[in-house]
A and B are shown apart, each in its own frame.
Chain A
Amino acid sequence: MYMPMPLYGFLEGDTLGLLMLAEEGETVLQLARRLQDAANIRVARSDNVDFLYDGKTIDPVLTVAQAGLQALDRFDVIRRHAL
């Protein structure tokens, strides 16, 4: 039986980290959106965000498993800044 994977999520602009339970087959973009929703009381939603894990930007279409995330890892969602 699949168990949701607990992860520490940090949204740029927020004042604390949140516990996120990642779903099987969920893309990192979907996880990023859920973190934005969870933090929306403190941080206005931004459409253009990047998902960072282990110091690297992750392709948003990859699933959590494909990105290599493991239980109790940290990920970050940051605003994509215009070049």
Chain B
Amino acid sequence: MLSREEWLPLARKLDWDYTYVREDEVFPEVISGHPWLPHAEWKEWEESFKTSYREYVDNQYEKDMAVYAVRDAVGRLENIQKLAAPWMNSLKVHAAALPLAEFTGVIGSLRGARFGRDSAWRTMSTFGALDEYRHTQIPLLLFHQLVRWDSQFDWAHKFYHTNNWFAIAARHFFDELTLGQNAIEFAIGTNFVLETGFTNLQFVGLASLARESSDHMFERMVTSIQTDEARHAQIGNPVLAVVMKHDPEYVQYLLDKWFWRSWRTFSILTGLSIDYLTALEQRPYSFKEFMEEWIIDQFLRTLDEFGLKKPWYWDIFEDELDIYHHMIYASAYTYRATLWFDFVIPSPAERKWLRQKYPKYWDDMDAVWEQVIDRWRTVGPGAANELAVHGTAMPTFCDLCQLPLSAGSPRKNTANVVAKDGRKYIFCSEPCRWIFLREPERYANHKDLVKRVLSGEAPAHLPDLLTDYFRLTPDTWGEDIYHGAYDWLAAKKTSVA
């Protein structure tokens, strides 16, 4: 019998020459990706984990048992009910956004498992697909028990099946990144950019916040998921290294595109959790500080290693670190009934903290919160007054990222209109416009929410839009957690110097 060291290379590195078909028929460029290269260019493809199937199953079994043990010890409904209400709503955001997005990762990984250009890549992608199944099933399992207690958790399964505006944006992102992607772009966009960069934000950052918030179930879940991500993310580097030799401009484009698109999505998913939905005393850092330490430093080092440049929009990105997720949160608070989780107004102490962490634009954001607070003060607290402290006009959305036109700053919104082929498009930012115009055939026929309303595809009347199109109900749509009944709000002035 062969030893592990003898048979594993044979099993995971098993390529052969085709005699009945051509190689480009087995691996068509349209689905294997650009550039199409003969296998000789890929044969040195390697990754460092070199796991066998048996080892993979043994490891995953142990990790699953650890998650179940934590669930049984501290993850029961009575444990979850003790968590702070704002953090609970952070959980609802991730409960909805995470599981089925991970399922799209199954599809993308399986594409690599079939159309990756080297057998070791295909082996690793097979494990990656199994990982992503796990990342779908674990959160669905853990959050399902909460549905009977709070129906907003039903959005763990429902979210991507609705036309909620944030679901439209998330689908637009994940459909392109994972579901409809060729093997090379998937490896660079998902494995390299998203998983080596932004899943740190999602899983390491959130695990830390969950620990601080005494949510040990969520902490264990995302930590367990991250160990898988760290392994299959290794697919990205060797794919990128080969493509760099043949078409470095294409690699730079994919990097620039997917870093921006990932930033857009994760700045919302994680930025709101860190800076608004975690109790002040439990925030170990600001979202910006976390981005700088965990994403930017590592990302720039990796670019250097491969001889890649910073994305051309780096100055715009750095500016957005100070403001974008704040613009989104304030906008979303005033349209909270369009979402499936509840919101909280930052307290005077939190606004003081936010001013310290984000001095560049906080004056402008503070004025917005002061106006919201004045409205609550005018109408008085109470659930019956929720809609009196709520926007009524139709918000607008970017034709690329599908998110609200909330880029720039309150003083200068950076939305810009482009006329192309007899149609008008609007983009929240220069990078979104640039991505669209690089691949208009990919994006041009997708209608944002405003154009769906204008064409009659979606209802224009807000209550109908919420119930018929977003599939919310008065029981599930977002509210202020305290319905405006904050101790500090009764005081005459809350402005924070």
Contact = CB atoms under 8 A, between A and B. Distances in A.
Interface of A: 6, 8, 10, 12-20, 38-44, 71-74, 76
B394 interface: yes
Contacts of B390: 41
B396 A71 contact: no
Interface string B384-398: 000001111111100
Given A41-B372, A42-B334, A42-B372, A16 B392 contact: no
B415 A42 contact: no
A44 B373 CA distance: 12
B410 A74 contact: no
Nearest to B335: A16
Interface stretch (B106-114, B257-265, B363-371): B363-371
B371 A43 contact: yes
A15 B368 contact: yes
Contact of B368 (A8, A10, A42, A76): A42
B331 A73 contact: no
B424 interface: yes
Nearest to A72: B424
B410 A41 contact: no
A76 B414 CA distance: 11
The 7 closest A-B pairs by CB, nearest first: A38-B393, A17-B405, A19-B394, A72-B424, A16-B331, A17-B396, A15-B327
B394 A44 contact: no
6 contacts: A6-B454, A10-B415, A16-B413, A41-B390, A72-B426, A74-B417
B411 interface: yes
B450 A6 contact: yes
Contacts of A17: 395-396, 404-406, 413, 415
Contact of A18 (B327, B372, B394): B394
A13 B410 CA distance: 4
B393 A20 contact: yes
Nearest to B410: A13
A76 B410 CA distance: 12
Nearest to B411: A12
A6 B173 CA distance: 26
Contact of A8 (B375, B392, B396): B396
Given A19-B394, A38-B391, A71-B424, A13 B406 contact: no
B426 A8 contact: yes
Contacts of B367: 13, 43-44
Contacts of A40: 371
B364 A13 contact: yes
Nearest to A70: B424
Contacts of B393: 18-20, 38-39
Nearest to B404: A16
Nearest to B415: A17
Contact of B375 (A15, A41, A71, A72): A41
A19 B396 CA distance: 6
B204 to A, nearest CB: 29
A73 B415 contact: no
B282 interface: no
Nearest to A12: B411
B330 interface: yes
**Which of A13, A19, A20 neighbours the largest number of chain B CB atoms within 10 Å of its CB?**
A19
Contacts of A74: 415-417, 426
Nearest to A79: B411
A6 B68 CA distance: 53
Given A41-B334, A42-B372, A72-B426, A16 B406 contact: yes
Contact of A42 (B371, B416, B426): B371
Contacts of B411: 12-13
Contacts of A39: 393
B426 A43 contact: no
A37 B405 CA distance: 19
Contacts of A72: 417, 424, 426
**Which of A13, A15, A20 neighbours the largest number of chain B CB atoms within 10 Å of its CB?**
A15
Contacts of A12: 410-412
Contacts of B392: 38
A13 B390 CA distance: 17
A18 B411 CA distance: 15
**Which of B365, B367, B371, B406 neighbours the largest number of chain A CB atoms within 10 Å of its CB?**
B371
Contacts of A44: 367, 371, 374
A73 B395 contact: no
A6 B450 CA distance: 9
Contacts of B327: 15-16
A18 B397 CA distance: 9
Interface in B87-143: none
Contacts of B394: 18-19
Contact of A15 (B331, B389, B412, B426): B331
